[in-house]
Amino acid sequence: MRRVPLWLTFVFLYVPIVVVVVMSFNAGDSPFNWSGFSLKWYGELAADEQIRTGLGNTLIVAAGSTALSTVLGTLLAVGLARHTRSKLLDAIATLPVILPDIVLAIGLLAFYALVQLTLGLYSVLLAHAVFGTAAVAAVVRTRLATTDPSLEEASRDLGANGFTTFWRITLPSLAPGVVAGALLAFTLSIDEFVIAFFTAGPQSPTLPIVIYSMVRFGVTPEINALATVLLAVTFTAILAVQRLTRLAGTR
Amino acid sequence: MTLLSISDVRRRFGDVTALDGVSLDIREGEFFALLGPSGCGKTTLLRILAGFETLDEGAVTLAGDDLTRVPAHQRPINLMFQSYALFPHLTVAGNIAYGLQRERRPKTEIKQRVDEVLERVGLTHAAKRRPQQLSGGQRQRVALARAIVKRPRLLLLDEPLSALDRKVRAEMQLWLKQLQHEVGITFVVVTHDQEEAMSMADRIAVLNQGAVEQVADPVTLYGSPATHFVADFIGANNFFPGTAVAGGLASTEFGSLPARPGAAVPGYPAILAVRPEQVSLSGGPLAGRVLDVSFYGGLSRITVSLSPASSAVSPSSAVPPSPAAPPSLTAPLSSATPPSSTAPLSSATPPSSTAPPPSATPPSSTAPLSPATPPSSTAPLSSATPPSSTAPPSLAASSLLNDKSEMSLSPGGTITVHQHGAPRVAPGDAVELGWAAEDAVLVEP
């Protein structure tokens, strides 16, 4: 009996998600009324040109911004660990992850207008790389805190120059943190709506924007199916992040 | 032949002087130890040699070449880190091969040299394992193998045994020394553990507060320490402050004590250091009472509370029940009597009355409390008398046994004696103790 509040909390958290997942297998047209099991909405989803474009755009943005964020974020974390003891700089570097999306979105839009950058897919990619970099830096930073600083000295002592040491010793020992950071940046980018909505060109909507425009004309089970797919992808990525950061911690 | 020459190296970190003019010459093929308490600068010196730290002033040359301009990764010097710093993502063999790969050696040569060194450290079976899967002693051997496989001119070892438990440590000490002999590389080991340094090194430099106190082989360091710090840091010791005189030390409380002159100059303040195992309980210039006896199997440790050399005090401390303050109040009376009248301690007094040469008297007059003096104002102890008139008698009487700081540098006015085998005295026994002049040494304060 004492566990009832716990279960109720879980129900509160996951009922909406369970409803979406269950209804994505609905045979009927209604997103609410169950009328039998079917995978037909997944078929519709695969055939939907609009969604395919959106998904393609989203994957390009996510992959591109993740690649950019991973490189910049890792270098930022290593630089912060190596060359400063300022807690303020540390905080500023990782701030964009928790900054309200709308603030970042307006700021980026104003900035793009200022430098007269025409909005397109690359503007979303760059925008996502902003918070992605911060996210990677934050994850790699915690990993760096647990590595033995004498490893790099040992490498130099054994005859490796700065670059070789970074490539052969620093990076491999940070690898779990770097991968976890990259997965986090990827997940954050895939379902990011507000910033994409502000910075995407009209010809290049990402998947969340496509879904938003579809929902305006009513929710169909197709959306449920799409949500379920997204859920599966995100959930897998988060599990991988957790596992990798735990690995990073136990070493 | 000198391999590494360190001359007048200075290094400051803000307000802290880590190295204050250190000069050392380390010979080719030597097992050299830098010994000192934490914060003495030994680690800074090691890091300067490895190239991870810069120096403010001074010079470091390796076989005549200026080392300070060479970056760490180009120095023919390797360091075994205190944490071992094994690369966790490489196997044991990968860790060892890393340094050779950086030299762009051919693959076959690398494999051959790695196998060779693995065999030397007895880890051939563990070549494919990761460092995390090894025990502490095995990790240490991998770290060592990784350093010696490069065949450096000089191998630096930072607290090599500190991470090991006691039993493994003793094994490793012996093994390290053998290995150094076999490979013929010059070893410089940094340690705060005097036992570790003494058992392994050919020569030891004792560092204190950024300066070298003494450089010598272990036996000399133990038998003839140059300074009070060295005498205190290495092994157990008993100390008596006083003035250096011919043939020993003039102590204000204990009269004349025999010792080798060591580095001390007659007429100047000095400290007499005598090892517990050199003190004999079968007669000598000092009298005391056994406070405590501990038996450690092959060795007995005896703590003796000392009575000052004057005849005045001796009888009072010889009173069995409590040699504390009350009986000592009676001391002044008996003090007037000549030393010879107090039978058990007569042996202690003659040297004190005869020994003090003229040089001893001026410094003794500066001693604020010479406990023996008030009663002995009329006594024949010439050395102690001049200041006696100024010392308040009551204070002096209590200070005999209570005011330890004035009596001796030995803790609590006591002396520690080591005897082989089972103890031959019991607590409460009155004893006479002394030592041969050649077994005690005068050191700089």
Q: Which residue in the set B74, B87, B102 is minimally distant from A151, CB to CB?
A: B87
Q: Is A148 on the interface with B (CB under 8 A)?
A: yes
Residues in chain B: 445
Q: Is the pLDDT score of A134 beyond 50?
A: yes
Q: Closest Cα partner for B289 from B400, B160, B381?
A: B400
Closest by Cβ to A159, choosing from B81, B102, B132: B102
CB A222 within 8 A of CB A28: no
Is B326 a residue whose pLDDT tops 90?
no
Task: Give the mean pLDDT of A172-189.
Answer: 89
Q: Which of B89, B99, B132 sits opposite A158 (nearest CB)?
A: B99
Q: What is the rounded average pLDDT for all residues in chain B? A: 78
CB B146 to CB A158 under 8 A? Answer: yes
Around B301, how many Cα atoms within 13 Å sit in the side-chain half-sphere? 9
Whether B249 is covered by a domain: the verdict is no
CA distance A21 to A95: 34
Domains and CATH numbers, chain A: 54-250 (1.10.3720.10)
> Which chain A residues touch B78 with a CB distance below 8 Å?
157-158
Whether residue B401 is predicted with pLDDT greater than 70 in this model: the reply is: no
**Contact B437/B259 with Cβ under 8 angstroms?**
yes
* Residues B181, B292 within the same domain: no
- pLDDT of amino acid B285: 82
Bigger pLDDT: B348 or B187?
A: B187
Asked if A172 is an interface residue toward chain B (Cβ–Cβ < 8 A), one would say yes
- Please tell me the predicted confidence (pLDDT) of residue B340: 37
pLDDT cut 70: percent of chain B above it = 76
Q: Taking a C-beta distance cutoff of 8 angstroms, is the pair B401, B239 a contact?
A: no
| Chain B residues lying within 8 Å of A175, measured CB to CB | 89
- For residues B313 and B216, state if they share a domain: no
What does each C-alpha distance from B133 to B36, B127, B171, B172 come to in angstroms? Answer: 33, 11, 21, 20
State which residue of chain B sits closest to A157, comparing Cα positions.
Answer: B73
Clarify whether residues B110 and B218 are in a common domain.
yes
Whether the pLDDT of residue A222 is over 60: the answer is yes
- Across the range B144-162, mean pLDDT stands at 91
Residues B125 and B56 in one domain: yes
Contacts with A, B 27-46, CB within 8 Å: none
| Distance separating alpha carbons of residues B162 and B386, to the nearest angstrom | 53
Let me know how long chain A is.
251
Residue B239 forms part of a structural domain: no
Instruction: Give burial (CB, 10 Å; 0-12/13-18/19+) of B198.
Output: buried
Could you tell me if A145 and A138 are in contact, meaning their C-beta atoms sit under 8 angstroms apart? no
Expressed as residue numbers, the domain containing B216 is 2-223
Distance CA A181, CA B187 (A): 43
Chain A residue numbers with beta carbons less than 8 Å from the beta carbon of B51 are 156-157
Paired residues of B273 in beta bridges: B239, B441
> Are B214 and B308 contained in the same domain?
no
* Whole-number pLDDT of residue B348: 37
Q: What is the pLDDT of residue A87?
A: 83
B41 falls within a domain: yes
**B420 at interface of A, judged by CB pairs closer than 8 A:** no
Taking the Cβ of residue A161 and every Cβ of chain B, the question of whether any pair is shorter than 8 Å is answered with: yes
DSSP string covering B197-213: HHHH-SEEEEEETTEEE
| CB of A171 less than 8 A from some CB of B | no
pLDDT in tens, B53-86: 999 999 999 998 999 889 999 999 999 999 999 9
Where residue B309 falls among pLDDT bands split at 50, 70, 90?
low
Taking CB atoms and an 8 Å cutoff, what residues of chain B touch A158? 73, 78, 98-99, 102, 146, 150
Is the pLDDT reported for residue B275 higher than 80?
yes
Which of A217, A216, A214, A239 has its CA nearest to residue A225? A214
B328 and B204 both lie in a single domain: no
- B299 pairs with which residues across the strands? B420
Does B134 share its domain with B218? yes
pLDDT, tens digit, for every residue of B85-141? 999 989 999 999 999 999 999 999 999 999 999 998 889 999 999 999 999 889 999
* CB count in 10 Å sphere of residue A194: 15
ipTM score: 0.71
Instruction: Based on the fold, state whether residues B209 and B346 are members of the same structural domain.
Output: no
Mean pLDDT check: name the lowest of A48-52, B253-257, B389-393, B418-422: B389-393
For residue B232, tell me if it sits in a domain: no
> How high is the pLDDT of residue A41?
86
* pLDDT at residue B136, as a whole number: 87
Q: How many CB atoms lie within 10 A of CB A117?
A: 14
Q: Please indicate if any CB of chain B lies within 8 Å of the CB of A49.
A: no
Which residues are registered as beta bridge partners of B216?
A: B204
Is the pLDDT assigned to residue B418 strictly greater than 80?
Answer: yes
Q: Let me know if residue B323 belongs to a domain.
A: yes
Domain assignment present for residue B91? The answer is yes
CATH value at residue B155: 3.40.50.300
Task: Report the number of distinct structural domains present in chain B.
Answer: 2
Domain identity same for B146 and B294: no
Residue B241 lies in a domain: no
C-beta separation of B290 from B425 below 8 A: yes
CA distances from B390 to A204, B99, B358 (A): 102, 73, 21
Angstrom distances, CA of residue A202 to CA of A51, A199, A209, A210, A211: 15, 9, 10, 11, 15
Q: Return the residue matching tokens 């630096």.
A: B156
B214 and B288: one domain?
no
Q: Is residue B215 part of a domain?
A: yes
Q: What percent of chain B has pLDDT over 90?
A: 39
Same domain, B280 and B203: no
pLDDT for B22 equals: 93
Distance from CA of B277 to the nearest CA of A (A): 43
Beta bridge partners of B392: none
Going from the C-alpha of A15 to that of each of A4, A12, A32, A236, B22, the distances in angstroms are 16, 6, 13, 20, 73
Q: Are A150 and B143 in contact (CB under 8 A)?
A: no
Residues B291 and B155 both lie in one domain: no
User: How far is the alpha carbon of B91 from chain A, nearest alpha carbon, in Å?
Assistant: 13
* Residue A215, token pair as written in the block: 């929902």
